[in-house]
Amino acid sequence: MEKCQYHHVVGRFAPSPTGALHIGSLVAAVGSYLMAKQGGGRWLLRLDDLDAQRQVPGMADDIMRTLESFGLLWDGEVAFQSRHLEEYRRIFAVLQQMGAIYPCACSRREIARSASAPHLEDECMPYPGTCRGGMKANAAIRSWRVRVPEEEICFADMRKGRFCQTLPAVSGDFVLRRGDGEFAYQLAVVVDDHLAGVNQVVRGDDLLASTPRQIYLQRLLGFPQPDYCHLPLVAGPDGSKLSKRDHLVSHQLGNVAGRERALLLAVLRFLGQNPPPELARCSCSTILEWGIAHVNPRQLPAQGGVLVV
Ligand code: GLU
């Protein structure tokens, strides 16, 4: 008898409400939306708002309104990481019982920023494991770290192909929680994606280096591994980082009516698609439908670059 299996895609977009939506995030939103919807799946929205100090009031709403203006409508309720502390506590306790984590007294920049996703420029030197064998007597706990093994962790990225990392050389034993109780992005993202049933993670290339850390946690916890696709990054005109101002979707939109459609088409082209010029007269939802029908991870460009509107 035929064995019929249907893999229902659950994708997600997980911006941090530390500012208004920027162009790189719009690319991640559109890419993850098209790929989830092409599989007939669901596309979830989660606000990664764990890092209390970097939150800007009103930005979660602002991001949601911007997504809606592009017809990027999420399925179900919006999730907020700040409301999931109970789940993080529970999983943290499981890891503790397994003996996978240890308290650490070292003070490093990585600890201060651990609640936020480490984008390229935020990555730190690997932690040398100073507290692995125990902390000095009476030292204060500044963080909790997970022990990482020497072995290589590999996965097949839908765009980049096979990607391998040996964690001791990249992050070392990484922070899961700060001494003040705040949970780290690396733990929160793994717990949230798992609990929401996410099986496809599409996001910017600047998080590629975090993926082996997340896969390692999934393996420790016995969680299934999602499929990953890391998208090319948007650069400024001279190939450099985009300036803060140029980076904002609102700045690109200006006050020009219908500019969303032009920007959406530019994002499709940036993602290696070739939308027909007539689409420029159509609504955002028609443009997205076209994108869903044509998206192909194999056609995603190998390099990022300028997004030309
Ligand atoms: N919230 C993270 C960010 O600011 C992204 C989370 C993820 O896609 O894993 O980029």
CATH of the domain at 236: 3.40.50.620
- Using 50, 70 and 90 to split pLDDT, how confident is the model at 70? very high
- Indicate whether 4 pLDDT > 80: no
Residues 202 and 294 in one domain: yes
Which of 44-58, 129-143, 217-231 is most confident?
217-231
Residue 75 lies in a domain: yes
Between 211-221 and 185-195, two packed helices, what is the crossing angle to 10 degrees? 60
Distance 109 CA to ligand 1 centre (A): 19
What CA–CA distance (Å, rounded) separates 113 from 178?
A: 10
Residue 1 lies in a domain: no
Q: Domain check: are 230 and 163 in the same one?
A: no
| CATH (domain of 155) | 3.90.800.10
Helices (H) and strands (E) in the chain, counts: 11, 10
104 in a domain, yes or no? yes
DSSP H or E stretch at residue 61: helix 59-69
Q: From the CA atom positions of the chain, what is the Rg in Å? A: 20
Q: Does 174 lie in the same domain as 111?
A: yes
Atom of ligand 1 nearest to the CA of 119: 10
Ramachandran assignment for 76, one of left (phi > 0), alpha (psi -120 to 50 degrees), beta (any other) = left
> Which residue out of 13, 16, 80 has the highest number of ligand 1 atoms within 8 Å of its CB and is therefore the one to mutate?
16
Residues 172 and 243 in one domain: no
Kind of pairing between the strands at 101-104 and 143-146:
antiparallel
Query: Would the pLDDT of 1 be above 60?
Result: no
Q: Is 234 helix (H, G, I), strand (E, B) or coil?
A: strand
Residue 16 near ligand 1, beta carbon < 6 Å: yes
Within 13 Å of residue 125, how many CA atoms lie on the same side as its CB?
4
Q: Is there a domain that residue 305 lies in?
A: no
Q: Is the CB of 203 under 6 A from ligand 1?
A: yes
Ligand 1, atom 7, lies closest to the CA of 14
12 lines ligand 1 (CB under 6 A): no
What pLDDT is recorded for position 26?
A: 97
Same domain, 101 and 25: no
pLDDT value for 257: 75
Which atom of ligand 1 lies at the shortest distance from residue 13's CA? 8
d(CA 1, ligand 1 centre) in Å: 43
pLDDT of residue 88: 98
The DSSP bridge partners found for residue 229 are 202
Q: Would you state the pLDDT for residue 112? A: 86
What confidence tens digit (pLDDT) does each residue in 236-260 have? 877 777 766 668 998 888 877 789 9
* 173 within domain boundaries: yes
Distance CA 118, CA 133 (A): 26
Number of domains in the chain: 2
Range of the domain at 162: 86-185
In a domain, 178, yes or no: yes
Q: Is it the case that residue 175 has pLDDT exceeding 70?
A: yes
Q: Which of 203, 231, 234 to mutate to test the pocket of ligand 1 (most atoms within 8 A of CB)?
A: 203
Cross-strand bridge partners of residue 94: none
Is residue 188 in contact with ligand 1, taking CB distance under 6 Å?
A: no
Residue nearest to atom 6 of ligand 1 (CA): 14
Q: Is residue 243 part of a domain?
A: yes
Q: How confident is the model at residue 6 (pLDDT cuts 50, 70, 90)?
A: low
User: What's the CA gap between 111 and 109, in Å, rounded?
Assistant: 5
In-domain check, residue 116? yes
Same domain, 293 and 226: yes
Cβ(187) – ligand 1 distance below 6 Å:
no
Q: Is residue 108 domain-shared with residue 157, that is, in the same domain?
A: yes
**Is ligand 1 within 6 A of the CB of residue 9?**
no
